[in-house]
């Protein structure tokens, strides 16, 4: 069941923030925690919608408060203070709604450094792409990948696929605010999407998460199982000549990348080629302090670019 009460109010909130030239770049949770540890209550819109600080109604202003209240996204924070249940981050000229900090809920909708890297990867990979008739963003979250990719390829109407009702609700608002016509599909796999597909993109969860949060836990293979499963499923589904673009993180163990090894072994039988490369050799290093990572040397951000033979 959707969490927010008024979808139109969510879109109007984004447009009102655009009118105020709002911009905020989301950081990792570890950096976020360090920054707000030295802060008090909110003093400006970036504090309210970016840093998720508690605020007074007068600081937000009546127009924005009314929109947030209509959406059902105002929470009590004690001592006359309030808190927004959503955050808003900027990516190029667009604004995106996602979950407020801290993202402890299993159904949190995450947006952060991975989102920026994901979109940069898509921009590089789709620079010379021809027309695309059907683009599917698996595990879309905020919808940022599919929404941004729709502007990179001619003719693409994105299908935003997610199992999380909150994600689909925020992704729909984000798409409307960006002027992108998107199809929203509730589900965990491409089986929920009908018709032909010629481009699949994905930024799946890849962390070994002790709290089993859906947006974060990547399953076995040191967190790479979902990345492997989604890529192989997409490779089976795309039309001849179609493509799969995966952005994910991989735990490197004794110099080995198990995801790469598995994809190289299994994709040829599906009639697919693979280009695989690291985008960032060392991300989320704080995770290495967790017991599940005791044998991991580093976590790398990678791109797996798959093409099916025509």
C-beta atoms surrounding 281 within 10 Å:
11
Q: Judge whether residue 270 has pLDDT over 90.
A: yes
Residues 91, 118, single domain; the answer is no
Give the integer Cα–Cα distance in Å for 195 and 175. Answer: 22
Give the integer Cα–Cα distance in Å for 202 and 226. Answer: 10
pTM of the model: 0.95
Residues 289, 239, single domain; the answer is yes
- Which residues partner with 186 through β-bridges? 162
Describe the crossing of helices 7-19 and 165-178 by its angle, rounded to 10 degrees. Answer: 40
DSSP 57-99: HHHH-HHHHHHHHHTT-EEEEETTEEEESEEEEEETTEEEEEE
Residues 117, 172, single domain; the answer is yes
Which tens digits make up the pLDDT trace of 68-125?
Answer: 999 999 999 999 999 999 999 999 999 999 999 999 888 899 999 999 999 999 999 9
Residue 106 forms part of a structural domain: no
Residues 56, 119, single domain; the answer is no
Residue 2 forms part of a structural domain: no
- Residue-level pLDDT at 133: 87
Containing domain of residue 78, as a range? 7-99
CATH code at position 255: 3.40.50.150
Task: With residue 94 as reference, give the H or E element that holds it.
Answer: strand 94-99
Q: Judge whether residue 1 has pLDDT over 70.
A: no
């Amino acid at each position: 069941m959707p969490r927010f009460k008024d979808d139109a109010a969510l879109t109007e909130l984004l447009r009102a923030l655009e009118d105020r030239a709002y911009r905020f770049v989301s950081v990792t949770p570890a950096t976020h925690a360090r920054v707000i540890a030295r802060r008090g209550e909110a003093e400006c819109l970036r504090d309210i919608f970016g840093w998720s600080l508690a605020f007074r109604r007068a600081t937000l202003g009546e127009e924005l408060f009314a929109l947030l209240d209509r959406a059902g996204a105002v929470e009590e924070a004690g001592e006359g203070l309030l808190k927004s249940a959503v955050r808003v981050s900027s990516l190029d000229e667009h604004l995106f709604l996602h979950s407020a900090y801290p993202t402890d809920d299993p159904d949190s909708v995450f947006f952060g450094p991975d989102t920026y890297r994901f979109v940069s990867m898509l921009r590089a990979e789709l620079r010379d792409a021809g027309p695309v008739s059907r683009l599917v963003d698996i595990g879309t979250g905020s919808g940022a990948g599919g929404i941004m990719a729709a502007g990179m390829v001619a003719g693409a109407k994105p299908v935003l696929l997610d199992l999380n009702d909150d994600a689909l609700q925020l992704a729909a608002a984000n798409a409307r605010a960006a002027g992108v016509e998107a199809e929203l599909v509730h589900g965990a796999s491409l089986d929920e999407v009908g018709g032909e597909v010629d481009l699949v993109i994905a930024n799946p969860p890849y962390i070994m998460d002790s709290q089993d949060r859906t947006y974060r836990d990547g399953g076995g293979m040191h967190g790479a199982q979902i990345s492997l499963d989604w890529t192989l499923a997409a490779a089976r589904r795309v039309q001849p000549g179609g493509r799969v673009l995966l952005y994910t993180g991989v735990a490197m163990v004794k110099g080995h990348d198990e995801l790469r090894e598995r994809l190289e072994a299994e994709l040829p039988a599906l009639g697919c080629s693979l280009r695989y490369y690291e985008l960032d050799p060392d991300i989320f290093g704080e995770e290495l302090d967790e017991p599940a990572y005791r044998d991991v040397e580093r976590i790398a951000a990678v791109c797996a670019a798959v093409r099916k033979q025509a």
